Amino acid sequence: MVLTPPTRTNSILQPINFSPKLPWLLLLLHHQSSQTQSQTPPPPSHPTPLAGEMAQQSDVQVQATFPDIVELNVGGQMYTTRLETLTAVRDSLLWRTFAQGSPGGAARDSGGRFFFDRDGFLFRYVLDYLRDADFALPDSFAERRRLRKEADFFLLRDFSDRLAVDGPPPTPCEAVVASRSGPPVLGPVAAPGPQGGVRTGYVTIGYRGTYTIGRDFQTDARFRRVARITVCGKISLVKEVFGDTLNESRDPDRPPDRYTARYYLKYNFLEQAFDRLAEAGLRMVACSSTGTCAYTSNDPNEDKIWTSYTEYVFSR
């Protein structure tokens, strides 16, 4: 069957002859079109730039969160505390670091702890204040001014003000004692020296004693009376402390600025001597004792005699 559709030739429609092979030609064109579409590469599977940027922002938010339990390294001393403790005082340095800052901006040590180059021993009192909004210092605490510097560094203004108010400035005696090495020992204000300052120094109390103990160590010890309590030190200081209870017969007429080791007390009670020293503002800073044992005979049932010598050193 032959169809004759009209065609335009010279503005006159003319019939077109369709061949029976036309369907095969259409089929071939459709096959080539399908192959072209199959060779087209698929769209990229990776997320769009916007999605990647949102994922990075999410990671930053996770890293910017401080843990609830925070480990600190303060001057080499390790502390572990809660995040809410460190952020208890608004506008303090710790609050700005752990409430307004990020972990990435804080200094860390090799173990990953947050590091502060401050006095690690005094930081314990800073933590006490952050926990309870209060603090309690030892009776013999001699570093109040240094602790106040730590409070100023961490911007704890109320803590610093209370340290200045609660503790009066140290007396000259306390300042001298606090400047010495070893544990701080503070006492009452001593009597003024000849030039108006506090007379400071050391006084050593010594005594010899003997006592007996049975060989089997089962019987009670029998103590003998202390024969004499000796006093060593600067003459002006020991006279101030013991007054007329001091026996100067073994070293008379010594200038007050000299030292002596030959004075002794007119009584034999150590507690009485300790009371006089405490009333004068001296505190014990050291003591030492030695002892020897000897048998009076070869009898195994005989008691053995111990002889001891003890010294107590007091300071003001």
CATH number of the structural domain 69-166: 3.30.710.10
Beta strand ranges found along 1-152 (DSSP E): 6-9, 12-15, 69-74, 77-82, 114-116
User: Which residue has 């300790």 as its token pair?
Assistant: 274
Residues 6+ apart with CB under 8 A from 21: none
pLDDT of the residue at 171: 47
Closest CA to 160 of 168, 170, 150: 150
Spans of the chain, pLDDT less than 70: 1-64, 166-198, 211-226, 294-304
CA–CA distance from 315 to each of 116, 170, 182, 232, 274 (Å)?
37, 17, 12, 12, 12
The token duo for 226 is 């202390």
Question: What distance in Å separates the CA atoms of residue 236 and residue 256, rounded to the nearest whole number?
Answer: 5
The token duo for 260 is 């002596």
Residues 6+ apart with CB under 8 A from 72: 78, 79, 80, 81, 113, 114, 115, 116, 123
Closest CA to 130 of 159, 107, 161: 159
pLDDT of the residue at 36: 56
pLDDT of the residue at 8: 52
Structural domain boundaries in the chain:
69-166, 202-315
pLDDT of the residue at 139: 78
Closest CA to 93 of 143, 147, 150: 150
pLDDT of the residue at 19: 52
The number of beta carbons lying within 10 Å of the beta carbon of residue 71 is 15
pLDDT of the residue at 60: 39
Question: What distance in Å separates the CA atoms of residue 203 and residue 259, rounded to the nearest whole number?
Answer: 10
The pTM is what?
Answer: 0.38
pLDDT of the residue at 293: 73
CA–CA distance from 101 to each of 51, 127, 155 (Å)?
27, 20, 16
